[in-house]
Amino acid sequence: MKTLKCDLCEVTAEGETFETWMQNLMPHYIETHADVMKTSTPEDQQKWMTENKARFENA
């Protein structure tokens, strides 16, 4: 089980896999960082996924 902080704040989420971690982090992102999600382009979203998958795998 890995525990990683949100890339925008100090909230943490846990997951055995990147996908599980994402599922556990998503409610926080929707509630707390909705403004970021609304203004993100598809390119921004892909970059976020790539960077955070690498961050998860390296943790």
Q: What is the mean pLDDT of the chain?
A: 96
What does the pLDDT look like over 26-49, one tens digit per residue?
999 999 999 998 999 999 999 999
User: CB atoms < 10 A from the CB of 20, how many?
Assistant: 15
pTM equals: 0.85
Question: How many structural domains comprise the chain?
Answer: 1
Other CB atoms within 10 A of residue 54 CB: 11
What is the pLDDT confidence band of residue 2, given thresholds at 50, 70 and 90? very high
Q: Tokens in use for 44?
A: 């921004």
pLDDT at 32: 97
For residue 19, what are the domain limits?
A: 2-58
